[in-house]
Amino acid sequence: MEFSDCICRMLNSTLAPYLILGAYFDTKQLKYLLFLIVLCMYILIVGSNVVLSAVIGFNRSLHEPMYVFLCALCANQLFGSTSLFPFLLVQILSDVHSVSVPFCFLQVYCLHTYLSVEFFNLTIMSYDRYLAICCPLQYHSLMTVRKVAALIVAEWVTASFGVSIYTSMSFSLHRCRNVIDKIFCNNYSIVQLTCSDTTSNNIYGLVSTAVGVVCPVIFIFYTYMKILKVCYYGSKQTRQKAVSTCTPHLASITNFFFGVCFDVIQSRFSTKYVPNIVKIFLSLYFLTCQPYNLPYRTYIYFKRSKVNLSISL
What is the C-alpha separation between 255 and 264, in angstroms, rounded?
A: 15
What is the C-alpha separation between 80 and 7, in angstroms, rounded?
A: 38
Domain boundary assignment for the chain? 17-305
In this prediction, residue 183 carries a pLDDT of: 86
CA-to-CA separations, 42 to 28, 77, 86, 114, 148, in angstroms, rounded: 22, 11, 8, 16, 29
What is the C-alpha separation between 86 and 80, in angstroms, rounded?
A: 11
H or E segment at 19?
Answer: strand 18-21
**Are 260 and 115 in contact, with CB atoms under 8 Å apart?**
yes
Please name which of 297, 310, 306, 311 lies closest in space to residue 129, comparing C-alpha atoms: 297
In this prediction, residue 262 carries a pLDDT of: 75
DSSP SS3 for 69: helix
> What amino acid occupies position 71?
C
In this prediction, residue 243 carries a pLDDT of: 67
In this prediction, residue 241 carries a pLDDT of: 64
The CA-CA-CA angle for residues 172, 110, 41, to 5°, reads 140
Q: What is the pTM of this model?
A: 0.83
In this prediction, residue 57 carries a pLDDT of: 84
When computed from its CA atoms, the radius of gyration of the chain, rounded to whole angstroms, is 22
Tens of pLDDT, residues 218-238? 888 888 888 877 777 766 666
Give the architecture-level CATH label for domain 17-305: Up-down Bundle (1.20)
> pLDDT under 70 in the chain at which residues?
1-16, 234-245, 248, 267-273, 290-313
